Amino acid sequence: MTPQTLTITLVGLLLAAICWLVYRGFVLRRERALVFHPSGIQAYEEHGVTGRSCDTALLRLAKAGRALVVTVTRDELWVRPRFPLLSVGAALGLVHRVPLRRIHLMERLVGPRANVRFEYASEDGWCHCVELRLQNPSTFIAAVREGQLEEIS
């Protein structure tokens, strides 16, 4: 190996290690919030949901086909993988724990890809968009709306 090739290899390995550490930091921050499953009264829960994040163009291309669990409790909406692959779900933008009061848009869609889209503002102020293909979209929307009304009163 020439010294030039060795230097390029070491720089490449160093960059790969830095990228891996940044990625793991992002994923672990999202995973810590979803270690436990939702507790309390569940207004709605569905397994085997298809969904995708609309936050970036790259995330729009990736979707989880029938691999998500969607749960609505009295005050939170949870979207998480049904298999223990939280790191993959977090990387695809499909791990969400949302207080119902933060959801500012909930709409019913017509089309083969998704039938519900919701947008919410996270604690850091960023707006996130998620599209889901649910078996019972009307029941899901009603559960979210009811939880939002309970929080207001």
Q: What is the pLDDT of residues 85-102, one digit of tens each?
A: 555 666 667 888 899 999
User: What pTM value is reported for the model?
Assistant: 0.72
SS3 label, residue 13: helix
Q: What is the per-residue pLDDT for 141?
A: 94
Identify the CATH assignment for 42-152 out of 3.40.50.2300, 3.40.190.10, 1.10.10.10, 2.30.29.30. 2.30.29.30
Contacts of residue 37, defined as CB under 8 A and 6 or more positions apart, other chains included, come to: 71, 78
Q: What is the per-residue pLDDT for 91?
A: 61
